[in-house]
Amino acid sequence: MRIKSVLSLRNILLLALSFILMLSFGLPLPKASAATPVKGIYVDGTQIYDATGQPFVMKGVNHAHTWYKNDLASAIPAIAATGANTVRIVLANGQQWSKDDLASVEAILTLCDQYQLIAMLEVHDATGSDNVSTLDAAVNYWISIKDALIGKEDRVIVNIANEWYGSWSSTAWATGYQSAIPALRNAGIKNMLVVDAAGWGQYPTSIFTNGNDVFNSDPLGNIIFSIHMYEYAGGNATMVKDNIDNALAIGVPVIIGEFGHYHSAGDVDEATILSYTEQLGVGWLAWSWYGNGGGVEYLDLATGPAGSLTTWGNRIVNGPNGLATTSVLNGIYTTPGYVPVLDGGTGTVPAQPTGLTIVAGNEQATLSWNASSGASSYNVKRATTGSGVYTTIATGLTTTSYTNIGLTNGTTYYYVVSAVNTIGESANSVQFSVQPQSNPIPQSDLVVQYRTSSSSSSTNTIAPQFNIKNNGTTAVNLSDLKIRYYYTKDGNQSMDSWVDWAAVGSDNVQKVFGSTTGTNADTYIELSFTSAGSVIAAGGQSGEIQLRIAKSDWSNFDQSNDYSFDSTKTAFTDWNKVTLHLNGVTVWGTTP
């Protein structure tokens, strides 16, 4: 699209910005093993199929990643939330903008996979060029990062060069791609390839007249074409329909790789693009998530990487034939038990690891998981935000446990595990987070919930209420349990306490005060239960226990400096500053 001709005037600024962003981008993701191609997204006639054999119609957006490298972790989850099944990612090979290297591309693909988005990658430096050397540079870039592509043929598509060949001509365009495509295949890249039409993507006649020559240059026969529909290719309904019909007539799939609702030289019939592609089962990717400039800011779909939808964005997401009603996830994300299949064979990568659990320790976290069928080893990956991006911290593990040391107490870490064999690597496990602490929170099926009925900082009565939940599969005797609530007594007066009501019976709850040391605590009250208090069944709970504490002279406490107090908790909430002890062992909560 011609927005890039406008953007190219900003190359110097963008180059500087991208260089800064590249320096601050995430740590590299080491490869666990040499990748092996798997059965991927493929072409049959004019239809695209996913690796499970189901028709796949791409629906999604473009994201200008290479100019906004630091925004990835915010943008990808937001794009996925629109219902998109595909995202076209703008990359740079270093000729015009700061290069997206192998590690950064691997990070992009990991995040897209986490959010169940098929990733279409494109090199933007070739935009509008008629020079074969710029196309060759794009080819060389893909070969240089092929380790990020091989083994991900079921979820990664390669758009060879964005809008290469700006002139409205067909022969030289076709000749260039007839050399580029075999070079990629000879390098072992088997991903589906996308070829943009000539004329900045807006001259689909190049597809009509020379598309078969380009398609036939691929020994794998796995090529699709892309039209960028702005004013010259999508200006009215007749133009939209004729261009799609004539492209499909050569017997090869076509997508609308970019389009807007308006462009600098005129209107675009986005309503027909959306309705006619839906009618024919043709995919589309709207331009672009955010960050447009040079007078075409109206093409922003969102106000920022995780911003609200603009009018254009709302049309694409929630309007007729928009993402919310027409986009369907790729079958690899919806087929139960899906695992990639070795290309040309019947072997499979291991199953996705399940049952990941983590126990927090002092500056460490211990992970364990269930063995995966077909796995020979495992990789552990970690992030510092819930949306990724993951860094691989351990590879080649032959057991189903791992302890990550050297962590910072009080920091939340997010983990996933993948399984590996000679064929490839599985999808990541479900994410699990943990926060190491110097006084670790015990891991238990027993949980204490807390609320206060006296939320004032200054009060003559401390009034905590408790509920014990048993999330396990076996019953627990109440008489084996003790609850401790920690506070500062703010004086030397003696203490009194009352259980006003308890579901297990007030008479079955015993109380004792004790002294302690620690942050915001010098005293605790311990509740225990008589044998008449019965049991907490598996999956059950104790019910409310309503407690009051007061000084003998009824003077005020200052609850603001009490360890276990939280004025905001007026409804029962899991609360780890109240501890629970089973037969003398702390099974829930953290002491002061």
Residues known to be catalytic: 163, 258
Note whether 281 and 236 are within 8 A (CB).
no
DSSP 3-state of 285: strand
Peptide bond into 389 cis (omega under 30): yes
How many beta carbons lie within 10 A of that of residue 484, not counting itself? Answer: 21
Compute CA 315 distance to the chain's CA centroid, rounded to the nearest angstrom: 24
Helix axes 132-144, 171-186, angle to 10 degrees: 20
548 pairs with which residues across the strands? Answer: 498
**Beta-carbon-side half-sphere exposure of residue 472 (alpha carbons within 13 Å):** 15
Helix, strand, coil share (%) of the chain residues, nearest 5: 25, 30, 45
What letter does residue 189 receive in the DSSP assignment?
-
Measured CA to CA, the distance from residue 26 to residue 204 in angstroms comes to 39
The full DSSP string for 155-194 is TEEEE-STT---SS-SHHHHHHHHHHHHHHHHTT--S-EE
Note whether 197 and 244 are within 8 A (CB).
no
Tokens matching residue 383: 């992030």
Which is it for strands 401-405 and 535-536: parallel, antiparallel or unpaired? unpaired
CB burial readout 536-565, b (16+ within 10 A) else e: beeeebbebbbbbbbbeeeeebebeebbbb
Given CA atoms 379, 24, 109, 185 in this order, what sign does their dihedral have? negative
Q: Which of 126, 129, 157 is nearest to 141 (CA)?
A: 126
Residue 255 Cα distances to 165, 285, 365, 376, 425, angstroms: 18, 8, 46, 40, 30
Note whether 18 and 69 are within 8 A (CB).
yes
Element (DSSP H or E) covering residue 324 = helix 323-326
Measured CA to CA, the distance from residue 121 to residue 346 in angstroms comes to 28
Identity of the residue numbered 146: K
Tokens matching residue 308: 């609200």
For the chain, the farthest-separated pair of C-alpha atoms sits apart, in whole angstroms, at 97
What letter does residue 215 receive in the DSSP assignment?
H
Q: What end-to-end distance do the CA atoms of the chain give, in Å?
A: 61
Tokens matching residue 143: 């070969």
Q: Which of 42, 40, 50, 124 is nearest to 85 (CA)?
A: 50
Measured CA to CA, the distance from residue 268 to residue 291 in angstroms comes to 20
